[in-house]
Amino acid sequence: MPSASPAHFPRPPVSSEEDLLILVDADDREVGVLDKGRCHDGEGILHRAFSLFVFNPQGEVLLQQRNASKRLWGGYWSNSCCSHPRAGEPMDLAVNRRLHEELGITASLRFVYKFEYHARFAGIGSEHELCWVYVGETHDEPSPHPEEIAACRWLNRSALDTELAQEADRFTPWFRMEWAALRSRYSQQLPVA
């Protein structure tokens, strides 16, 4: 299926460098809050995040290409949706909020696992996240938010595996780690293809 381009109508911004994120320790215990910009400066400060993998009824996963203006990994391909719960926001509300804001869709989501990772992007900043990974299914077609997403596409698993093997540097580091874990350790959690 061809890439979906962002809709060309005004939509309010969905995030800001001033958003307050939840700082956590290595056991995912809350230890404070800090604005998004400072969480991603330098080596990054450990904070709570989430990554969503949304599948259609054909078993294809939705990928998004991050808008080129994104501070970290702009223009790279990544999983369906990823972001952060805001200070005081429960995770179940955050994942559904962001999925609707970024892609204009709803999905039945289920938590699969969480892990800590650190990835530095040139001299610009870092991701240092305790990331909750979810898998879900939708019948909706995405309507990407133009400030967040340059393009999106549905891809079957074997085609994605091939792309990752041949051109890994086109994809975000967290997506590569998460997809590898989903395909190996958590394959039973993926929808039937």
Question: What residues act catalytically?
Answer: 82, 129
Question: If we measure between CA atoms, which residue out of 19, 14, 13, 15 comes closest to residue 35?
Answer: 19
Question: If we measure between CA atoms, which residue out of 126, 109, 108, 125 comes closest to residue 117?
Answer: 126
Cα of 109 vs its chain's centroid, Å: 13
Looking only at the bridges linking them, the beta strands covering 125-137 and 47-55 are parallel
Chain position carrying tokens 């804001």: 101
The 3-class SS string of 39-85 reads HCCCCCCCEEEEEEEEECCCCCEEEEEECCCCCCCCCCEECCEEECC
Looking only at the bridges linking them, the beta strands covering 77-78 and 61-66 are antiparallel
Q: Is the dihedral of CA 71, 115, 103, 37 positive or negative?
A: negative
Looking only at the bridges linking them, the beta strands covering 108-121 and 20-24 are unpaired
